[in-house]
Amino acid sequence: MTQGNRAPFVVAHRGSSAARPEHTLAAYELALTEGADGVECDVRLTRDGHLVCVHDRTVDRTSDATGLVSELTLDELREMNFGTADAPSGVLALSDLIGLVLDWRSRPTKLFIETKHPVRYGALVENKVLAELQRFGIATPASADHSRAVVMSFAATAVWRIRRAAPLLPTVLLGESSRFLGGSAATTVGATAVGPSVKTLREHPELVDKAAAAGRATYCWTVDDPDDVKLCADLGVSWIATNHPARTKALLA
């Protein structure tokens, strides 16, 4: 994830989520069609141990049903509608999304996986993410290419667990505090990039150079305002996550 003088890579946040319902197949297919360099997803564990792409603890905001993801099975989640009335869509399992990204033959695209994990799961979510990636041939000890996936978390312990289990897999330590991201945490856990919010970056643009001096890239989220896209480009941010990948690609062209 080095940057040099090139424009930031564009990551579709929850897919092309300004145009399609977030975390749906339609949102990710559109993002890939629009030329996104990467796609972002949040993962949570179902009651029966599957990883699904859902941001919130509950399905209330993003589906036609209610309930905690952790108390629902994958089959139950598949019955719910995460799309629209006109274009229904079941929940997306992480394995569905990995398959889609790897099958997208026109361009190699990166998958940015953010683990959302209650403390009670311990290392379970990270271990399952790694197992899924390894099932698809990514991040195995023998794999020559660890570049198709990046694992991210606001939890330093989660990043540390990933680095320990898969030392070559890129990671992003997310945060909103400049003291946290500019301090020693990223070095301690071995994160290959830091991930400030765009608000944090506006207030602390020095974070980019500070990360670069330590050999780390910067991933900024969620960059929808054209002025912020320009700021990120001027600062040398490596990756920007946006809900508007097509517009952002055009701005950076």
Instruction: Indicate which residue of 13, 23, 117, 244 is catalytic.
Output: 13
Q: Which window, 71-79, 89-97, 110-118, 183-191, contacts Ca ion (CB under 5 A)?
A: 110-118
Tokens 């320009």 correspond to 230
Active site residue 244: no
Contact set for Ca ion, span 180-209 (CB under 5 A): none
Based on CB atoms, which residue is closest to ligand G3P, 13 or 50? 13
- C-alpha triplet 81, 45, 161: angle, nearest 5°: 145
- DSSP bridge pairs for 239: 9, 219
Instruction: Return residues touching ligand G3P (CB under 6 A).
Output: 13, 40, 42, 55, 114, 174, 221, 241
Instruction: Indicate which residue of 23, 55, 117, 146 is catalytic.
Output: 55
Are the C-beta atoms of 93 and 50 separated by less than 8 Å? Answer: yes
Shortest distance in whole angstroms from residue 116 CB to ligand G3P: 7
- Say how far apart CA 90 and CA 15 lie, in whole Å: 15
Active site residue 13: yes
Angle formed by the axes of helices 94-103 and 124-135, nearest 10°: 30
Based on CB atoms, which residue is closest to ligand G3P, 15 or 83? 15
Based on CB atoms, which residue is closest to Ca ion, 34 or 42? 42
Shortest distance in whole angstroms from residue 171 CB to ligand G3P: 13
Question: DSSP characters for 67-132?
Answer: SBGGGS-HHHHHHS--S-SSS--PPPBHHHHHHHHHH-TTS--EEEEEE---GGGTTHHHHHHHHH
Classify 170 as helix, strand or coil.
coil
Based on CB atoms, which residue is closest to ligand G3P, 59 or 137? 59
Among 34, 114, 126, 228, binds Ca ion (CB under 5 A): 114
Shortest distance in whole angstroms from residue 34 CB to ligand G3P: 18
Question: DSSP characters for 55-76?
Answer: SSSBSTTTSSS-SBGGGS-HHH
By the rule CB under 5 A, 22 interacts with Ca ion: no
Shortest distance in whole angstroms from residue 106 CB to Ca ion: 25
Catalogue the active-site residues.
Answer: 13, 55
- Residues near Ca ion, by CB under 5 A: 42, 114
